[in-house]
Structure 1
Amino acid sequence: MSQYITHNVTEQQTNELRYLHKVMQAIQILGEQPQLNVVAYGRIWRYADLLHTAVRYAELAELHGYNTSAFQHWFHRDLAVFQHYGIALRIS
């Protein structure tokens, strides 16, 4: 854990964070090659899925008290890409 404030999190949120961690590891290639599709966990993942998953992962990580500043920096730097896919960031 980090020195950041943890919020009340449910077991479901913790399990979702663990699952998304595995998903992110499986589909990370999309960050370098967004034109690819990745088959993992019973579905086909595309670049937009990577972005959506990354945002949810960051939201859950922040709830658990982890520092998400590196993600927030990436999000704000590439805001146009996220907006193109209709993705909003709901963390502080």
Structure 2
Amino acid sequence: MSQDTTLNVTEQQTNELRYLYKVMQAIKILGEQPSLNVVAYGKLWRYGDLLKTAVRYAELAELHGNDTSAFKHWFIRDVMMFQ
């Protein structure tokens, strides 16, 4: 992605990306232990929440010009495992 693409990113999207980064750090154990539940940021997080949050995080990261190929590889592998 080019630098020009990041010019279309809103402040709200940047703030959401920062928040989701913190959430992902708090619940990353779910990637290794999908049967666990994690309490963080006033919510009970499950593995499905990790996947949904990770998808949104990747979307925002791409808008900011970041390479998300590693995420896509992980996500496809996990989705195939749980189907």
Matching of residues 28-43 of structure 1 within 5 Å: 28-43=28-43
Q: CA deviation at 1:60?
A: 0.2
TM-score (norm 2): 0.87
SS at match of 1:78: helix
Q: Is the 8 A contact 2:58 2:71 kept in 1?
A: yes
The code of the aligned residue for 1:39 comes to V
Q: CA deviation at 1:73?
A: 1.5
The code of the aligned residue for 2:32 comes to E
- Per-residue displacement from partner, 1:53-82 (whole Å, max 9, x unpaired)? 001000000000000111111222333357
- CA RMSD for the aligned pairs? 1.5
Distance 1:28 1:45 in 2: 10
Distance 2:12 2:61 in 1: 13
TM-score (norm 1): 0.79
Larger helix percent: 2
Matching of residues 55-70 of structure 1 within 5 Å: 55-70=55-70
Give unpaired runs (5+ residues) of structure 1. Answer: 85-92
Give unpaired runs (5+ residues) of structure 2. Answer: none
The code of the aligned residue for 2:45 comes to W
Runs of 4+ deviating beyond 4 Å: none
Counterpart of 1:74 in structure 2 is 74
Distance 2:72 2:64 in 1: 16
SS at match of 2:76: helix
